[in-house]
Amino acid sequence: MPEVKRLPIYEIEKSLLEALQQGGRVIIQAPTGSGKSTQIPQVLYRGGFLVKGEVVILQPRRLAARLLAKRVAAELAVKVGGLVGYQVRFESHISPETRIRFVTEGVLLRQMLDDYLLKRVSVLIFDEFHERHLYGDITLGRALQIQQEHRPDLKIVVMSATLEAEKLQSYLAPCQVLQSEGRTYPVEVAYLTRSPERKKSEIWDIAALETIRLLERHTIGNALIFMPGGYEIVRTVELLKARLSSKEFEVCPLYGELPPEEQDRAIEQTKRRKVIVSTNVAETSLTIEGVQLVIDSGLVRMARFDPNRGINALTIEKISHTSAEQRRGRAGRTAPGHCLRLWTERDHEFRQEKELPEIYRIDLSEVILALKASGLKEVSLFPWLDAPLDESLENAEKLLRDLGAVHYQNGEITEVGRRMLAFPLHPRYARMMLAADHYGCVPSMALMIALVQGRGILLRRVDKETEQRRDDVLGIDSHSDFTRVLSAWKHAKEAGYSIDVCRGLGIHAQAARQAGKLAGQFLTIAKKRGLSTEVDLVDGNELGKCLLSGFSNQLAKRMDKGTLRCAIVHGRRGNLARTSAVQKSPLLVATEVSEIEGKKGEVSTILSMCSQVEESWLRELFPEEFKEESITSLDSSGKRVVDRRRRLFRDLVLEDKESEGVSDDGAAEILADQIVNGRCKLPAWDESVEQWINRVNCFSSLFPEFAISSIAGEERRFLLRQACLGLRSFKEVKRLDMWPTLKSWLGPEQAAAMEEYLPERYILPGGGKAKVRYLEDGVAILSARIQELYDVKGMLSVADGRLNLKIEILAPNQRPIQLTDDLESFWQKTYPEIKPALAGRYPKHEWR
């Protein structure tokens, strides 16, 4: 172990202690290997900041929290669990004497729910904050609230190798920023000349081959190989152990699922040269001594929301420039080093500069539930460092409502929601564990959750022979796809997770082993939370109910027996996977909902990993989310109004059938709407109707004393509804006579007055009757042949002189010659000009 006082971080020891004495917030920017993770807690301990409380150091990974606690305990010559301890998702080694406590981020957020003021905490350290994990962001925001509102004595330290210091400084203001430059040696960087994709080789094959080549060139120092996850690490270790001399090299894996003793062996110093194959835990959180050679796969398992399963999942992705630089720097801590990147230099140019903050990548339901439990009613008002997308917040709240964790009406946390928080699981699985306790099947449900959450243990693309063996050994259950998965796991366990036996049935042996281990951890949590883990009344119905409790928002109903089409809760549509065993169930719940793009860009929604559901289960689990309604609508042909009785779960229609007794009002409403939208033709509504309505509106405007209501859009709909009362079909509408309904708009006195003041025919001086048209804008036009107008002088008007008429002068053939409101001018100027032509064309008519 190096002399800690020689570590670069001690350059800022004095400044740090002074900054914390003067204020409550400090940002420390120090490169990887500077000693900040192990030494800053000890500096605070020696500086007297932990006399009345503890320092809690938040780590993004469980492995780092445990190994750092062990390192600090060794440096202080104490046992882990005493002065120095750690708490992670499934493990706790602390005591009342603990003053330096390493924890993962979710642990502290849950502690805040039980101990709102963090009474025993003197200093909070957010380590490796540049990784921008969601729980880190949330916990920092809550810590600021606690400090500002209740605990001004609480000290907050944010540490990272690389930070957007300006943005964070503004968020934490007032705060001080301290920098430790660190000491590093130059590291030569090399790339592959051809991409691994073009070589068509697995990444572990390439890594092993290149590592062996480089170890021959670089004869001193240890090698560190970065791989995305446990599976890739195991394959790489196998290849290296087979090709490297065990006398000269010790090959060690390093990832979270390893037993603690194997994790310790990876970072311990030995006489032999070490080749450590690690996840990104060795990128920043841990420093492995003597590394001079880095082989970087350029890949990482990144947490992202998996829309298929409706949960957060780890996917393999390319690392950013920032991560690549962090990994490169591991080779230059004690001497000049070499870093080989297993991708091309051109590929490097197209990689993103840094990782997107987790808040934009994953489902927020778990942290939203925690915030609501802390008393925050309006989540959007939380002091976010980076505010989440509105859509992400809405989706999280919708899921929590569907799970019964928050009230549908006011969004406040329910008692069920508070109980769910006791489990460090995604809310779906926490809800399923509570249901399992109720139904007495906690052990089976713990296993099922482990199987649903992890990598699928049944390989999807197997040959027909393997598929047939599966059917023979595992059987087929038409009620649930999970029966086969549970049988496969039991078969793998009985075979000791033998790779050969599992391969014969297309079972992923390692995934099955990990699921068993994870199920055991879930059971430990369940027992600590008071759930009954001894009894396991394994019953397909009870397990189905538990699945439904966690995935009720993926409840689906078969739309017809002849196809696989399904209607899904929240107005979605999809198709049951052809590979699903649940082919005959009218009602089912899917734990995977995948969107697959077809050849022409069309997206298909596929439901898989399904279980049959009984409607009685819905009433048992969600009694308040049922409703029945009567809907008056057009039938499937779209030409007849019928009444339908519907039974719904949320917005999913469980039953829809035609019934008797369509109301007159409901039918009239629908038919009127169809007429207005042009889907149903009403021959009776012709130009004469429009003329009559225009007269009514004009009369209403000119004679308010008669109290006649004008007929606008809504009034037109009312008249149509009145006319359609008693009708049921488009056929009846076509025979409809509108006039009785229209005439009822006016009382007898009003109708008589309108006929008197706004006549349809105007009596001319010569005794003839001319037609008057009333336009929508209130203009009235009298149309008459020119011979009928010879004796007309001056203006013509109706409405007792309140409305002057425009004159439409017609030729003998009834075609318009001119429209004028000044007839005197027409006779003097226009008529003499057109008269000769008209007289020549119509010689039998009188021409004055």
Q: How many angstroms separate the CA atoms of 713 and 553, rounded?
A: 41
Q: Say if residues 774 and 691 touch (Cβ distance below 8 Å).
A: yes
- Exposure on the CB side of residue 164, measured as CA atoms within 13 A: 14
Regarding predicted confidence, which is higher, 524 or 1? 524
- For residue 438, count CB atoms less than 10 angstroms from its CB and return exposed for 0-12, middle for 13-18, buried for 19 or more: middle
CB 268 within 8 A of CB 287: no
Which tokens in the block code for residue 273? 């040269």
Sign of the torsion formed by the C-alpha atoms of 265, 271, 275 and 280: positive
| Res 436: pLDDT | 92
CA dihedral 698, 699, 703, 708 (to 10 degrees): -110
Using DSSP, state whether 494 is helix, strand or coil.
Answer: helix
What is the rounded average pLDDT of the residues 658-686?
86
Q: Structure tokens of 222?
A: 């240890």
> From the CB of residue 821, how many other CB atoms can be counted at a distance below 10 Å?
14
Instruction: Write the pLDDT tens digit of every residue in 232-282.
Output: 999 999 999 999 988 899 999 998 878 888 888 888 888 899 999 998 888
| Own/partner pairs, 682-691, CB within 8 angstroms, 24+ separation | 682/720, 682/733, 682/734, 682/736, 682/738, 683/734, 684/736, 684/737, 684/738, 684/739, 685/738, 689/738, 689/742, 691/760, 691/773, 691/774
pLDDT on residue 599:
59
What's phi and psi for 630, nearest 5 deg?
-105, 125
pLDDT of residue 2: 45
Q: How confident is the model at residue 475 (pLDDT cuts 50, 70, 90)?
A: confident
Lowest model confidence (mean pLDDT) among 23-37, 72-86, 411-425, 595-609:
595-609
pLDDT digits (tens, 9 = 90+) for 7-59: 888 889 999 999 999 989 999 988 877 888 999 999 999 999 998 899 999 99
Burial of residue 212 (CB within 10 Å: 0-12, 13-18, 19+) is middle
Q: What is the mean pLDDT of the chain?
A: 88
Confidence band for 334, pLDDT divided at 50, 70 and 90:
confident
Place of tokens 């995934």: 511
CA distance 508 to 783: 91
Assess whether pLDDT exceeds 90 at residue 699: yes
3-state secondary structure at position 711: coil
Q: How far apart are CA 842 and CA 814, in angstroms?
A: 12
User: Do residues 73 and 84 touch, judged by C-beta distance below 8 A?
Assistant: yes
Taking residue 38's Cβ as centre, other Cβ atoms within 10 Å add up to 22
d(CA 667, CA 721): 9
- On whether the CB atoms of residues 576 and 558 are closer than 8 A, the answer is yes
Q: pLDDT value at position 628?
A: 86
Average pLDDT value for residue range 302-321: 74
Does 367 score more than 90 pLDDT? no
Determine the length of the chain: 848
Residue 581 pLDDT: 86
The dihedral built from the CA positions of residue 514, 517, 521 and 527, taken in this order, carries a sign that is positive
Exposure letters 314-337 (e unless 16+ CB within 10 A, then b): eeeebbbebbbbbbbbbbbbbeeb
Asked if the bond preceding 196 is cis, omega within 30° of 0, the reply is no
Question: Using CA atoms, how far apart are residues 54 and 108, in angstroms rounded to an integer?
Answer: 13
Percent of the chain with pLDDT over 90: 44
Share above pLDDT 70 across residues of the chain, in percent, rounded to a whole number: 96
Give the Cα-Cα-Cα angle 451, 456, 462 (nearest 5 degrees): 140
DSSP assignment of 574-590 equals EEE-TT-S--S-SEEEE
Which residues lie closer than 8 Å to 626 by C-beta, 6 or more apart? Answer: 618, 619, 647, 648, 649
pLDDT of residue 79: 95
Q: Is the dihedral of CA 766, 767, 771, 772 positive or negative?
A: positive
pLDDT at 34: 82
Instruction: For residue 33, give both structure tokens.
Output: 């290997």
**369 or 659, greater pLDDT:** 369
Q: What is the DSSP string of 132-144?
A: --HHHHHHHHHHH
Measured torsion, CA atoms of residues 570, 575, 580, 581, in degrees rounded to the nearest 10: 80
587, 647 in Cβ contact below 8 A?
A: no
Check if the beta carbon of residue 237 is closer than 8 Å to that of residue 253.
Answer: yes
Q: What is the pLDDT of residues 156-212, one digit of tens each?
A: 999 987 767 778 889 999 999 998 876 778 999 999 988 776 556 789 999 999 999
3 state SS of 97: coil
Q: Which alpha helices (DSSP H) does 105-186 contain, by range?
A: 105-114, 134-149, 165-172
Report whether 482 contacts 609 (CB < 8 A).
yes
* Cα-Cα-Cα-Cα dihedral sign, residues 423, 425, 430, 436: negative
Name the more confident of 435 and 634.
435
Dihedral angle over CA of 696, 698, 704, 710, nearest 10: 50
Q: Specify the higher pLDDT residue, 185 or 214.
A: 214
- CB of 367 closer than 8 Å to CB of 339: no
- Cβ-count burial of 752 within 10 angstroms (0-12 exposed, 13-18 middle, 19+ buried)? exposed
b/e map 131-148, b = 16+ CB within 10 Å: bbbbbbbbbbbbbbbbbe
pTM of the model as a whole = 0.71
293: nearest Cα among 353, 255, 341: 341
Q: What is the DSSP letter of 827?
A: I
pLDDT score at 1: 41
Q: Tell me the CA end-to-end span of the chain in Å, nearest whole number.
A: 127
